[in-house]
Structures are given as C-alpha cells and as structure tokens.
Structure 1
Amino acid sequence: MINPILNTDSYKTSHHLQYPSGATRVFSYVESRGGAHDATLFFGLQAILKSEFLTPVTTAHVDEAEELLTAHGLPFNRVGWDLLVARHGGRLPIEIRAVAEGSVIPTHNAMMTVVNNDPDFFWLTSYVETALLRVWYPVTVATISWSVRQAIKAALEKTADDVEGQLPFKLHDFGARGVSSEASAALGGLAHLVSFQGSDTLSAIVAGRRFYGEPMAGFSIPAAEHSTITSWGREHEVDAYANMIARFGKPGATYAVVSDSYDLYAAIEHLWGETLRQQVIDSGATLVVRPDSGDPVTVVAKTLALLAERFGTTLNGKGYKVLNTVRVIQGDGVNPESIQAILDRTIADGFSAENIAFGMGGALLQKLDRDTQRFAYKASAVEVDGVWRDVFKDPVTDAGKRSKRGLLGLTRGSDGWKTVAVDGARFAPLDGGENALVPVFRDGELLVDLTLAQVRAAAAAAG
C-alpha cells in the first residue's frame, strides 16, 4: 500500500503554510465543466475510498514522507501529520459527500464535496484532491459506456423483439491490454459494467467483488485469437475452424471465431458457408464471426450480407432480418461514432441490430483524459475566524475555468438537477429541499457501501 501522505502532488506539501491566518475549514467540490457529453454517470468513488482512504497514517508513514519530501526540496508538515496520528489515530478528519453512484448528472453541477472536520486540518481538504479527483476516470468511462448503451438501445427498440434480453451483452470490454495499468483496467472495466455485462477484462470482475459486493459482474465466451487460427497454417484454416466447432459448438452455447486472418469473405462464403455450414447448424450453438480489419461499416455490412446468403435469415416481429445460427461481433476500429455508423448501416440494410455486437478497447478505457469531461476540484469556501467566506476563481483569460463559490449542495426537483447553496452546519439547502450529496466518508470511516446491483439500477433508471 502506498504511503497515504505521498499520494498527492508535490506542491501540496507546502500549502499548509499558504492559507490565511485564522483559517479553520476549507470546503471544496468536484464538477464536470462540460465536455464530450452533456451529462456524466457518477461512479467509482467507493472503490477509491476503499482502496486509498481507509488505511490510517502511521508514524512510519510520517517518517518516510519527511525524509523523502525534504530531499525532494519541499517543506514538510511534521507537526500536522504527527497531530493526525496522535489525535485521530491516523484517520483523515474530513467529510466527503457525494451523489449516489449510478446517478446521471448534467455537467456544471457539484457531484462531490469535501470539508475538514477538525479546525487544525484546514489544509487537508485540498491535500486529498490528487487522489479524489482521479474519480474522473471511472466517471468518464462509465459515461462513455452509458452513452453507447443509449445508442444501441435505440437501435434495438426499433429493430429487435427482446430489447432487455439483448442489450446487456451488446458492448463487450476488450480494453484490458490497452490501458496503462492493471488498476486502470480494474476500475475502468468495472465502470463499463455499470451499463453492460460483457467483458474480457478479468481485473474488472475482481474489482466488482472487492469494491461493490458483486460475485460476478460480467461474462464472456470462448473465443479464438489470430494465433490460435494462424498456428494451423493457411492451408489448414478450415481445420482451425472445425476445431472450434468441435471444442465449443455445444447445444445452446455461443463461441466467437476471428475469421479475417487471410480472406474474411472467402472464409465466410466457402469455409463457414459451405465446407462447415452443416456442422455449424447441427452443433446447436451460435457461431459469432469476428471481422478484425478494414473499414468497420463496410466490412460489417458485407459480413452480414454473406452470412445471410449462406445461413439464411428470419424476419422478427418488427420486420427486420435475423441471421440463423450465426452472429457478428466487430472489435476493430470501434468507438461511439463507428458504433452509430455501423448500426445505421445495419438497419438501412434491413438487418436487426440484434445480429451485431461490439468489442471496444482503447476507445472505452484509454482514449480519454480528465479534459474529456473537463473535471475540476476547486475550493469554494473557507472559514476564517469562525466566519465562512466565498472562494472562487474567475480568470479573464478563460471564462470556462470560472469556478463556483460558497458552500454547495445538489438538489433534484421537477426541473432536474441543480447545484444550490447550503448552510455551514448541516449542509442543508438554504432554499429548502434535501441535499442529494450525502455523507459517504467521515473521519476515516466509509458510511455508504453500495452494491453494483444498486448502482446498475440507478443508471438504468436514468435512461
């Protein structure tokens, strides 16, 4: 476990010397200041709190931090950290409030607030910014996944009979190898599983168990990769496919086979569609053909057309074609824009969206940053000599970085979500109503422990 004192930015270790004399409390908030999406799905704070905020600071941590930071060229607040250990047993005397995970909140609203509870630790509110603001990552992944869910859901509602049965498995997480760390795979992969149940990111399944009490957060199927196909040699490509049928083609099962190692269209027309056609049908399983190269829109369209020729289709209740025995998963060049384009082309060609699933990797877990949704953690109020006063920034060079001021909460009424002013005692809205930002952490203790099922239910209710 990392030393909690060192889980911050270097410059913050000098900030205890920079606040006004008489400062006793600092109040900060987190918001998305806009970005690629006009709303965000809040998720991942609980995992961060469990993994990084429940370990008490010890004297050994203090000693290590003092040695390192002094050599690093910075002042060290030895008095403050020793007091934290002595008075609070090393537990952080702060209160973190947040909206319920799974909530979809319009941008430009406070989703989380932080304030210190002990006046001697006014500097701690901003000290923990570095660790807490990393919530931008699971929130952004969850938002991307949720927005794709809306697009796929709309396509299924138009063209499929069983929308709720199909939807959870239409976007599969292929991103584990494309992220910067196993921790990113775990937290980002779990954020995706708020909206879907398909994943090949095993770290996310483990994270679901550890952080959200979910025994099995996602599912996968046997699937081929290029090495397992090409190791047979080009002249034995058909044998590689036959082996997949023999190994995994059981009644009621589903298995996926990448089929573009050499000539995708020839593989569909002649190998799958002629030589192995009857074996595929007789197996009683569903074969999922995976193209993995070329322009995604045109390749998927031609793949569907060729499979329809070889295996036939059935019209569903909404008048769209459904492939018999086979399906398609597109896992190359997949992002929110290409998914929408593929769905549009699929529907235009008369096929139901239930014929196609998507595997999304880097665009889901890695092709994003804090600026995707312009996340910020800002101080908005400070208590000096017993009186709260507003704190804000308003740079003339960038109005988009103007911050909120005062003590803040969040309410939800008939007109939607709204950031509101709250009092300095109970943090209740001044104009009445209930603060939707509820305490989730106080003085080293986790106060709310949600299950993934609860988070999923909240997200599903949002759309």
Structure 2
Amino acid sequence: MQSNTSTLASILSNPILNTDSYKASHFLQYPPEATGMFSYVESRGGRFDETVFFGLQMLLKEYLCRPIDDRMIDEARDFFAVHGEPFNEAGWRYIVATYGGYLPVRIRAVPEGTVVPTHNVLMTVESDDPEVFWLASYLETMLLRIWYPVTVATQSWHLRRTIAGYLDRTSDDPAQLPFKLHDFGARGVSSTESSAIGGAAHLVSFSGSDTVLGVIAANRYYNETMAAFSVPAAEHSTITAWGREREADAYRNMLRQFGRPGAIVSVVSDSYDLFAALDLWGTALRQEVIDSGAVLVVRPDSGAPREIVLRTLRALDATFGAEPNGKGYRVLRHVRVIQGDGINAQTIETLLAALAEAGYAADNLVFGMGGALLQQLNRDTQRFAMKCSAIRLGEVWQGVCKDPVTDTGKRSKKGRLTLLRNRRTGAYRTAELPLQWDDQTLERDWEDALVEVFDSGRLLVDDTFAAIRARAHAAAVVSA
C-alpha cells in the first residue's frame, strides 16, 4: 500500500491517479490491433448557444507539463492492486523510459478567448504511439474538467454583453464596463482550486475581483502583471464591532481611513437598519463624504433586490442629488450602489431594467456575484463531453461514435476532427481530417481554427491574458 508519508497534495499531483477507476482497466478492452486513438471535446448545447474557450493553458501547465516518475507509478500500482482494478504498469514504465515521463499525446485547441457556437469541436487529443495509444481516453477525466473554466468564462461573457447593452442605452461612460460585475465567489466554491480556476475565468470579461486566488492564477498561468483590482470595503464585522450606538463612527472611520480624491470606498450599510443608515449617510455624514473626494459605494445586503436597490438609489438621490447625462438618465453625485445579495443572470437583467425604467443610468449600480458566478454551474450547464471519435487499427484510422437510440442528443461525432473558421463571415463548422478542399473557393474561404498547443510535455502556445481578453471582447462586439 502507499506510504503513510504521502500527502494528499502529492497524490493529487499524480496524473496516473487523476482519473476514473474504470479507466485503469481500459487498456485491456480495446481491439488487439489498435495502435492510435483520437478524442475531442465539445459543448453539446446548454444554457448558452456560444461558449468562450478558456482554461486549457492553466491545466496543461499544472498537470501535463510535468513528467511522471517511478514513484508515481508505484503509488498508482499499489492503489489499484487493492482497489480492484488491473493496472498497466508496463505501459507507464514505458512512458518513463521512452519519453522521460512526459505523456505522449498531442492536443490541439481553439485559441483561448475564442467564442464558438455550441455543437462544435473545441479541442482534440491524439495519441499514436501503439504502446500507449489508450492515453487519449485515460486523460479524459482530467481534461474534461475544462468544462468549468469554459462555463464560468461563458456566463461572464454573456453577462458582460447584457450590462454593455444597458450602458449603451443609459450611460455616457462605456469605459466602466470592466468593473461592473465584481467576483464575490471565493467563499462559496467547493475548493481552493475552483476558486483559482473559476476566478481566473471570470476575468476574461471583467477586471474586478475579490477572489485573490483567481487573480493570482490569471497572473501566473497567463503572463499577466495584474489581472484584476479591488477597493477597500467594509464587512458586517467591521461595522458591528463598533456597536449599534456607534454605527455612525464606524462609517466615519471608513471615510477617514480610505476616503481620498478619486478613491472608491464600499460600505455595507444594512447591519441594523438600512434606511436609518441611508439617513445617516445623507445627513450627519453627507458633507464628510463630499469633502473626502471619494466615491462612496453603499451596499445593501438583504431584502428583495429590486425593491431595496430602487429605494436605496432614491434615498441617495434625495440627499446627494443627481444629474441627467447626455441620454437623459440620472447619475448620482458622490455615491453609487453595489448589490451583492441574490445576484445571478436574471437579477442583473431585472435590476438594470428597473433602473432604466425609473430613469437612472446603469452607472449608479455595480454588481457583486458570489455562488451563482463560480458554483451554481456544472458540466451539464453546457452539456460538455469528451468522446473518442477515431481509432487506428494497424495503419488505418477508422471513425467511431456513439449513437444511442434512447437519446439522440448524446450522439457523438466521428473521425479525426478539426474546427474550421470562415475568413469572410467568421462562422465556424466542424470538419474531418485530413481536410479535403473540393475546390479553390472552399480553400480560400475557410481556415483551420485549431492550433497545436501541446505535444509530449511541451507547451507550444503560452498566451497572455491580454490577448485572450482581446479575442473575447472582439467577439462580443461582433455578436452584439
């Protein structure tokens, strides 16, 4: 059995164990003449009709750019021996001896940040060493987790489009868009890894976050100096620590500590009575807010979002005032509101529509999104799947697929596949390799949209976060 000195961290870093139990037995289940395997990843539809591809570079750097070694093989052998599964020890030893421990697979993918309609190939995995051809499927468990950053990035991209639409309608300042949806999700995710991966994915579309690990992941895995920013903000403990009778002092302290010209200070204001707090802000503390030169962002944190946000805006309007912008919508002076309670795609749309109907610009409201941003998603949100689509028998590739009569939505694609992009229209379509250009017009109009990003431990593309953002933002403009 494995040594008692093995830590959970060391086990989690072993790619041989980063799989499903039954995968260990699959090397005995393929046709004896099999020599190569080809698999692909796609979104088979779901909540959104377009996906933003993101997160593969993180996954490759963390797991596949490091070699396996004999210790890892020993650990896996001892585990599976008692777990009840056969183990291909010879195959894994072969990888160490022949490839220095790097896994001999090739991965092609659409560039990260690219927006692709569902039902198209996003990524392919090929292994053509006859000794370990089964690797393409063995890695499915690990590689299919790409669903998570893709789904987070996709949701945030669509929310960016929603918010951008209301800014275009009601605001004179579209430059604020990157900071309109702030990541509050760190405490609501299932693991630190989810916090890092999902937090980074959100930042493809936005630049505000309190999820520290997500910002660090974007920085480190994507060559960025600082991917997102935050501001000083109060929580309930920093207000209630002063006691209810000193609530005004707690608010005043926030202004004195952080209130500077051009600064933003966020203060949760419903620890006791939101409406009494709004009165404090608009009377006893009003001049101090103005004199600080900062923008005070009031956070109501309870109640029905639509009702509370509108009542908060109107109370602040009554005391601080507002000015009509060039589109005729009111913009508050000196203050803004951030709503972080109950925020999801539906409430964002509802609140922005309510503001516009009430005559307020979208400038006045910022969103903080927690569990719905990083946790209330799963693989079925976009119906992600990774399937074997071709097997090489001897020297000949043959397309294979599943086609269950009980669920045609699970029908998979056949052949060695790629993704084509139309040079003129930007449209995408999945095609089979090798590409057969029927005529010069077809070859002129279409190009291969997948690029080789990984081969046997070598990372072939090391993209920047800025480049990924640029792709996603450009696609949002085209789709709008």
Q: TM-score range by the shorter chain?
A: over 0.9
Counterpart check, 1:242 vs 2:255: no
2:215 equivalent in structure 1: 205
Cα contact 1:54–1:445 (8 A) shared by 2 = yes
Counterpart check, 1:175 vs 2:188: no
Looking at structure 2, the residues matched to 326 and 81 of structure 1 have their Cα atoms a distance apart, in angstroms, of 62
Cα contact 1:208–1:215 (8 A) shared by 2 = no
Counterpart check, 1:91 vs 2:76: no
The residue type equivalent to 1:333 in the other structure is G
The alpha-carbon distance between structure 1 residues 144 and 428, as it changes in their structure 2 partners (threshold 3 A), is farther
1:410 equivalent in structure 2: 419
Alignment of 1:2-401 (within 5 A): 2-163=13-174, 165-268=175-278, 270-401=279-410
Cα contact 1:311–1:324 (8 A) shared by 2 = yes
Cα contact 1:292–1:332 (8 A) shared by 2 = yes
> What whole-Å deviation, never above 9, does each CA across 1:416-446 have from its counterpart, x for those lacking one?
11111111xxx78786443211100001100
The alpha-carbon distance between structure 1 residues 265 and 409, as it changes in their structure 2 partners (threshold 3 A), is same
The alpha-carbon distance between structure 1 residues 417 and 15, as it changes in their structure 2 partners (threshold 3 A), is same
> What whole-Å deviation, never above 9, does each CA across 1:246-291 have from its counterpart, x for those lacking one?
11111111110000111111211x2001111111111111000001
Cα contact 1:5–1:65 (8 A) shared by 2 = yes
Identity of aligned residues (%): 59
The residue type equivalent to 2:380 in the other structure is D
Cα contact 1:80–1:121 (8 A) shared by 2 = yes
Structure 1: gaps spanning 5 or more residues = none
Looking at structure 1, the residues matched to 32 and 460 of structure 2 have their Cα atoms a distance apart, in angstroms, of 32
Cα contact 1:422–1:429 (8 A) shared by 2 = no
Number of residue equivalences: 458
Looking at structure 2, the residues matched to 81 and 256 of structure 1 have their Cα atoms a distance apart, in angstroms, of 54
SS in 2 for 1:207: helix
Looking at structure 1, the residues matched to 263 and 102 of structure 2 have their Cα atoms a distance apart, in angstroms, of 51
1:443 equivalent in structure 2: 456
Q: CA deviation at 1:162?
A: 1.5
SS in 1 for 2:412: coil
Q: CA deviation at 1:119?
A: 2.1
1:454 equivalent in structure 2: 467
> What whole-Å deviation, never above 9, does each CA across 1:389-408 have from its counterpart, x for those lacking one?
11100111111111111111
Cα contact 1:30–1:133 (8 A) shared by 2 = yes
Q: Give the TM-score normalised by structure 2.
A: 0.94
SS in 1 for 2:447: coil
Cα contact 1:296–1:333 (8 A) shared by 2 = yes
The residue type equivalent to 2:324 in the other structure is L
The residue type equivalent to 1:74 in the other structure is E
The residue type equivalent to 2:300 in the other structure is P
The alpha-carbon distance between structure 1 residues 389 and 438, as it changes in their structure 2 partners (threshold 3 A), is same
SS in 2 for 1:158: helix
> What whole-Å deviation, never above 9, does each CA across 1:24-59 have from its counterpart, x for those lacking one?
111100000010100110000000000011111111
- Select between 52-61 and 361-370 the one with higher mean Cα deviation: 52-61
The residue type equivalent to 2:188 in the other structure is G
> What whole-Å deviation, never above 9, does each CA across 1:4-23 have from its counterpart, x for those lacking one?
21111110000000111211
SS in 2 for 1:275: coil
Cα contact 1:428–1:435 (8 A) shared by 2 = no
> What whole-Å deviation, never above 9, does each CA across 1:122-174 have from its counterpart, x for those lacking one?
110000111100000000000111111000000000111120x1100000000
2:5 equivalent in structure 1: none
Looking at structure 2, the residues matched to 146 and 323 of structure 1 have their Cα atoms a distance apart, in angstroms, of 27
Q: CA deviation at 1:415?
A: 6.3
Looking at structure 2, the residues matched to 188 and 428 of structure 1 have their Cα atoms a distance apart, in angstroms, of 39
Cα contact 2:35–2:128 (8 A) shared by 1 = no
> What whole-Å deviation, never above 9, does each CA across 1:315-358 have from its counterpart, x for those lacking one?
11111100000000000000000000000000000000011000
Looking at structure 2, the residues matched to 392 and 119 of structure 1 have their Cα atoms a distance apart, in angstroms, of 21
Looking at structure 2, the residues matched to 220 and 204 of structure 1 have their Cα atoms a distance apart, in angstroms, of 13
SS in 2 for 1:130: helix
Q: Give the TM-score normalised by structure 1.
A: 0.97
SS in 2 for 1:198: coil
Q: CA deviation at 1:117?
A: 3.3
Cα contact 2:46–2:380 (8 A) shared by 1 = yes
Please provide the CA RMSD for this pair.
Answer: 1.1
Looking at structure 1, the residues matched to 475 and 282 of structure 2 have their Cα atoms a distance apart, in angstroms, of 43
SS in 1 for 2:328: coil
Q: CA deviation at 1:61?
A: 1.1
SS in 1 for 2:37: strand
Cα contact 2:46–2:381 (8 A) shared by 1 = yes
> What whole-Å deviation, never above 9, does each CA across 1:364-411 have from its counterpart, x for those lacking one?
000000000000000011110211111100111111111111111101
Looking at structure 2, the residues matched to 98 and 364 of structure 1 have their Cα atoms a distance apart, in angstroms, of 25
The residue type equivalent to 2:272 in the other structure is Y
The alpha-carbon distance between structure 1 residues 415 and 383, as it changes in their structure 2 partners (threshold 3 A), is same
Looking at structure 2, the residues matched to 352 and 3 of structure 1 have their Cα atoms a distance apart, in angstroms, of 52
Cα contact 1:420–1:429 (8 A) shared by 2 = no
